[in-house]
Amino acid sequence: MPWFPKLALLLIALPVLFIVVLICRDKGFNPMVAAGLMHDSSQPTSDALLGGLLAPDIRRKSCLSRYQSISYRKSSLHKPSPYLVSKLREYEKLHKRCGPYTKSYKKSIKELVSGQIDSSSNCRYVVWLANCGLGNRILSMTSAFLYALLTDRVLLINEESDMSNMFCEPFPDASWILPEDFPFMNQLYSFGRDYAQSFGNMLENRIINTSTELLPSCLYLYLSHDYDHHDKLFFCDQEQAILRNIPWLIMKANIYFLPSLFLMSSFEEELSKLFPDKEMVFHHLGRYLFHPSNQVWKLITSYYKKYLAKAEERIGIQIRIFDNKTSPVEHVMDQILTCTDKEKLLPRVDMGKSIVAPSGKGKSKAVLITSLVPYYYEKMMNMYSKHPTLNGEVVAVYQPSHEEEQQSENNVHNQKAWAEINLLSMMDVLVTSAWSTFGYVAQGLGGKKPWILYKIENKTIPDPVCGRAKSLEPCFHAPPVYDCKAKREVDTATIIPYLRHCEDIYWGIKLFNNGFIQSSIRKQQQIVTKLQRFNMTWFPKLAVLLAASLVLFIVFFIWRDSELDAFTDIGLDDDLSQVAGELTSDKLLGGLLAPNFTRRSCLSRYQSISYRKSSRHEPSSYLVSRLREYERLHKRCGPYAESYKKSIKEMVSGRIESSSVCRYVVWVAKCGLGNRMLSITSAFLYALLTNRVLLIYEEADMANVFCEPFPDTTWLLPKDFPFNYRLSRFKQKYAKSFGNTLKNNNKKISVSTEQLPSHLYLYLSHDYSHHDKLFFCDQDQIILRNIPWLIIKSDVYFLPSLFLMPSFEEELSKLFPDKETVFHHLGRYLFHPSNQVWTLITSYYKKYLVEAEERIGIQIRIFDKKTSPFQQVMDQILTCTFKEKLLPQVDMGKSIVAPSGKGKSKAVLLTSLIPSYYEKLKDMYLKHPTLNGEVINVYQPSHEEKQRSTNNVHNQKALAEINLLSMMDVLVTSARSTFGYVAQGLAGKKPLILYKIEDNKIPNPVCGRAVSLEPCFHSPPIYDCKAKREVDTATIVPYLRHCEDIHWGIKLFNST
């Protein structure tokens, strides 16, 4: 067998070589895959950096699309100029030096407010304001960025909620988002064309000109489609001389005004160096600025992989109808079919034949249609799915979403639009609608000249129906028609050779290359293409050699990938419209949750909706907007931020800086998990009402229980907090607590006290005193308002008493028009089980509960075994569940020989510290048949015997059981139990309450349905702050009444 050793050596060598190739591929040596995407530490190649456009020093995981997009789009033949690359690096340094939260920015803000201009300042700004749809926004932002680049300004974006979590930050180590505390934020929304202080109106009224000595510190520029002659003077060099000296320019724009910058002689030389290839301005700047957020990128890549990746050719058809009356759908459909047939993009079909079974032999083509309506997709999909093509090609048609109408102020609509623009940019061929900015952006990012479907006018299909774009650039729909030098009207498309009228809108202008430049660029592109083809020839040959002997390795890797996919979020590979829809109404809980978290960092955040029924209680739009505001505040002031460090220094020194915008509530734990979650919720609402940042003092028993609730920051108090050692020892009798300070010496701290402390302790637990309870008085809140750090120790749901305070009344009514769902909304916003706990929950649910037709949760909490003996509690549970038809009675005279499996299946989840109730109930249903034939299975996840609140694993189990209870269809809970309150609140279900057994007597009735979903505040204040006397606080406002399960407690009810 002389050949055997050689064969063995070959079989050993080939796997080694295969592994080397895999490593090379992962490290960026595979020319067929975008380089450097697998390892965060390796340097991206020139391809991944788009020829130098992108800075390499941005963490990849923070924005996956930045360096991965090259894997989905073909490499661009158009390289940026070295001068553009160097200017972008210079700009990034400027932005880092002058951007939000820097010293230079803060100094400039002070000058802006004072109205004084410091000529020595080297930081000047352009603030961009949104107007119209996403395509218009992207094009106008690009224009504003180029203007900033040309004038050495910093571009800041006023990001409203409809734009949140759309784009990654484009600049390294700095943000382009205008901070929420910008001084004139309220004025930005009211700024329109007729705004008296706009540049155009000030020029028209002769308030400002080149000889004006005292210039304003900020100026408004209106550059939208309906701007007037004086607004358009922005494009004149003489007027630019005025703007040069104004530090803050606030620009509202919805047009691609960039081409008109090329008309200005002051920018001419710089622009020629930046863009020798005039048709690539948006192609380069768009790919530099706009990278989909991780959330949007997941939508894009999931859809691409599922529907488009395997096609041999991909055709994108973008349809935008501006007037349904003049462009009927039948006419548009005929135009599309005529164009794609004439240009050999799509094959004809044999309408006389039907497809019996797909042949799968011809070339495969995928057609991606984007349109607000489904008509075109349905028509084309039916045509190609029912009839064979004449040339044998196999055509599959897809449409990610159909929103029916444009909803530019809807965040999820914009996310879908952004995903579809990117998908279009990944196609091999593009067909776009005339005048559409959506199409302009897609063609620019893709670097592909589309076939343009010319606009149908008066129900007449144009001839020709479509034509190839001659330039890749977008069209400027509303150009100026004024020659600044000659001071007369002129056709601006005739002034310079590289500005001409657009192919799709005759009055618009766009950038073109002149003949010499175009010829030179075409030759360069041909050379690049040949080099790319030459470099790609070695890899397929090597792949064929390896594939023959390494089938097992490939099978292994396929298996490995499928195993990994099993752990991804539910529905991530669904089509784009389905996934995006879930993000809005379901996974984001009606807008409660911020969408800008990576899903794997907290699986429960977006998966919990798959286990709980959708809530019928929608949060108010005002609550949603306030939560987004809070998140920005927390990010700005949270741990490790510059503002936090500054505040810590002030706290230690004891000095209060009145200008500080960051104030804090530190929550300190007490008692069990249910109490903790309710008191944290109360502390959070207080923080929300008083514009404070909530920080949690996390001890070991709470580690890895919850996910972080706020994006891009932490709510955990850092371990180096100056007074950490005092927090756990802080109790009711602590001398420096607010209550004791008031009690012992009213003069030491009061409304008139000038030198207030930098921090103060608040004791708000069940055993607090009268003076502690003065926290709920408006007069005492005035004192607290001026103290930067409040440290709260609490174990009660004190939230209802905030509704007693006139100073919070108006805000609370806007936040919570439905008073019975305060905890339901805030609890689901704040508390998401960590991945470790979520695995416990979902594993148990899938194993025991998922197949039941109905699930009943029974939560049992016994506070005193002597007064509530086991048998009496058991009898109470059975009496309640039988009476309320939750569980069937059994025939105790018969035994189950074999399960019939015919009746309705019910699963009972029982949570209790002891196993006795579970064992009793399980044995009863296991041994005896039910009278109605239902099949009952009883489960108990754990029985800890006693509460161990300082044990981390105990708390993890407790949270798992609370969440499992919240997933049940019906709930039965114990009176006074905070554990049950949290479960019912997360579920949004009013439970049946097992009333407390007193003195060994079962109450009558044994149970009753909760009237309100809200938890009960067991220790409310009994003091009227205005009247300064004791009072029943359940009688002061109509929506606060006594609890169903504890007569002295109070809770929120809807007043009706």
* CB proximity list for 566: less than 8 A, separation 6 or greater: none
The answer to whether residue 892 is domain-embedded is: yes
The pLDDT of residue 983 is above 60? yes
Helix (H) or strand (E) holding 222: strand 218-223
Burial class for 906, CB neighbours closer than 10 Å (0-12, 13-18, 19+): buried
Whether residue 313 sits in one domain with residue 256: no
Q: DSSP class of residue 1009?
A: E
The verdict on 948 and 852 lying in the same domain is yes
- Same domain? For 406 and 551 the reply is no
Whether 342 maps to a domain, the answer reads: yes
Measured CA to CA, the distance from residue 319 to residue 323 in angstroms comes to: 12
pLDDT at 44: 59
Same-domain check for residues 732 and 848: no
- pLDDT number for residue 657: 73
pLDDT value of position 21: 43
% of the chain residues with pLDDT over 70 = 86
Q: CA-to-CA distance for 674 and 668, rounded, in angstroms? A: 14
Beta bridge partners, 789, equal: 664, 759
Task: Please check the confidence at residue 963 and state whether its pLDDT lies above 50.
Answer: yes
pLDDT bin (cut points 50, 70, 90) of residue 1017 is very high
SS3 sequence, 320-368?
A: CCCCCCCCCHHHHHHHHHHHHHHCCCCCCECCCCCCCCCCCCCCEEEEE
Look at 874 and 327; give whichever has higher pLDDT: 874
Tell me what the mean pLDDT of segment 932-950 comes to. 89
Per-residue confidence at 998, pLDDT binned at 50, 70, 90? confident
Residue 374 is given by DSSP the state S
Over 70: is that where the pLDDT of 154 sits? yes
Task: Please state whether 50 falls in left (phi above 0), alpha (psi between -120 and 50) or beta.
Answer: left
For 192-215, b where at least 16 C-beta lie within 10 A, e where not — what string?
A: eeebeebbbbbbeeeebeeeeeee
Phi, psi of 230 (to 5 degrees): -70, -35
- Which of 289, 322, 356 is the endpoint of a domain? 289
Q: What's the chain's Rg over C-alpha atoms?
A: 34
Residue whose tokens read 């965040």:
411
What would the two tokens of residue 738 be?
A: 């607010």
Examine the pLDDT at 1 and tell me if it is beyond 60.
Answer: no
Cβ–Cβ < 8 Å for 285, 87 = no
Same domain, 234 and 161: yes
Could you report the per-residue pLDDT of 298-315, keeping only the tens digit for each? 999 999 999 999 999 999
> Which own/partner pairs from 876-882 qualify as long-range (CB within 8 Å, at least 24 positions apart)?
876/994, 876/997, 876/1002, 876/1003, 876/1006, 876/1007, 877/917, 877/921, 877/972, 877/994, 879/1002, 879/1006, 879/1007, 880/972, 880/992, 880/994, 880/1006, 880/1007, 881/856, 881/972
What pLDDT, on a 0 to 100 scale, did the predictor assign at position 553?
Answer: 41
DSSP-derived letter for residue 550 is -
Residue 252 and residue 385 in one domain: no
Alpha-carbon 366 to chain mean position: 30
Q: What is the mean pLDDT of the chain?
A: 85
**Whether the predicted pLDDT of 207 surpasses 90:** no
User: 564 falls in which pLDDT band (50, 70, 90)?
Assistant: very low
> Residue 915: inside a domain, yes or no?
yes
| Beta-carbon contacts of residue 27 (< 8 Å; ≥ 6 apart) | 36, 38, 39, 42
Question: Do the domain assignments include residue 497?
Answer: no
Split at pLDDT 50, 70, 90, the class of 584 is: very low
Comparing 1055 with 721, which gets the higher pLDDT?
Answer: 721
Residue 121: pLDDT above 50? yes
Q: Using one digit for the tens of pLDDT, what is the confidence trace for 356-389?
A: 766 667 899 999 999 988 999 999 999 999 999 9
> Is 533 within the bounds of a domain?
no
Distance (Å, whole) CA 764 – CA 1018: 12
Considering its fold, how many domains does the chain have in total? 6
Q: Could you give the 3-state DSSP secondary structure of residue 187?
A: helix
CA dist., res. 518 & res. 502, Å (int): 17
Specify the pLDDT at position 12. Answer: 52
Give the pLDDT score at 33: 29
What does the pLDDT average to over 620-638? 95
* pLDDT bracket for residue 217 (50, 70, 90): confident
The two three-digit tokens of residue 52, written as one number: 């130098």
pLDDT at residue 752 is higher than 60:
no
- How crowded is the C-beta side of 616, counted as CA atoms within 13 Å? 5
Residue 583 confidence (pLDDT): 46
**pLDDT for res 929:** 93
Q: Are 30 and 539 in contact (CB under 8 A)?
A: yes
Is 524 inside a domain boundary?
no
Which of 35 and 2 is assigned the larger pLDDT? 2
Average the pLDDT over 711-718 and give the result.
92
Average pLDDT on 770-790 reads 92
Is residue 1054 predicted with pLDDT exceeding 70?
yes
* Residue 578 pLDDT exceeds 50: no
Q: Which residues contact 406 (CB under 8 A, 6 or more apart)?
A: 133, 372, 413
Taking alpha carbons only, the member of 1005, 1004, 967 closest to residue 983 is 967
Does residue 36 carry a pLDDT above 70? no
At which of 15, 47, 71 does a domain end?
71
Q: Is residue 827 part of a domain?
A: no
Cis, bond preceding 31 (omega within 30 deg of 0): no
- Predicted TM-score (pTM) of the model is 0.53
Are residues 854 and 990 located together in one domain of the fold? Answer: yes
SS3 state at 268: helix
In a domain, 503, yes or no: no
Q: What is the pLDDT of residue 11?
A: 52
Q: Where are the alpha helices (DSSP H) in 816-936?
A: 822-830, 835-844, 870-883, 916-927
Q: What is the pLDDT of residue 1043?
A: 96
Residue that terminates a domain, selected from 610, 643, 669: 610
pLDDT at 17 over 80: no
Q: What is the pLDDT of residue 542?
A: 43
List, in sequence order, every residue forming a beta bridge with 1040; answer none if it has no partner. 1052
Give mean pLDDT, residues 628-638: 95
Residue with the bigger pLDDT between 827 and 565: it is 827
Average pLDDT of span 198-223: 86
pLDDT in tens, 411-428: 888 999 999 999 999 999
Q: Are residues 629 and 776 in the same domain?
A: yes
Predicted confidence at residue 313, as pLDDT, reads 96
Same domain, 103 and 212: yes
Q: Does one domain contain both 470 and 553? A: no
Whether the CB-CB separation of 668 and 728 falls below 8 Å is answered with yes
pLDDT-derived band at 750, boundaries 50, 70, 90: low
Task: Assign 29 a pLDDT band (cuts: 50, 70, 90).
Answer: very low
Q: Return all residues near 690 (Cβ < 8 A) that are at least 6 apart.
A: 663, 665, 784, 785
> What six digits make up the tokens of 616?
């019928």
- Is 70 exceeded by the pLDDT of residue 565? no
Q: Which two tokens stand for residue 1026?
A: 């205005």
Are 738 and 665 in contact by the 8 Å Cβ rule? The answer is no
Per-residue pLDDT, 580: 36
Burial class (CB in 10 A: 0-12, 13-18, 19+), 946: exposed
User: pLDDT category, 803, cuts 50, 70, 90?
Assistant: very high
Which three-class secondary structure state does DSSP give residue 104? helix
293 pLDDT band, cuts 50/70/90, is very high
Q: What angle do CA 115, 118, 123 make, to 5 degrees?
A: 100
420 touches 392 (CB < 8 A): no
- pLDDT computed for residue 658 by the predictor: 66
Q: Does 574 have pLDDT greater than 60?
A: no
| Secondary structure (3-state) at 206 | coil
Residue 769 and residue 841 in one domain? no
Q: Is the pLDDT of residue 579 over 60?
A: no
- Report whether 231 contacts 199 (CB < 8 A): yes
Same domain for 284 and 298, yes or no, is: no
Per-residue b/e over 797-833, b at no fewer than 16 CB within 10 Å? bbbbbbbbbeebeeebeebbeebbbbbbbbbbbbbbb
Domain region containing 56: 3-71
pLDDT at 30: 32
Output the pLDDT for position 37. Answer: 28
- According to DSSP, residue 43 is labeled P
Distance CA 118, CA 139 (A): 32
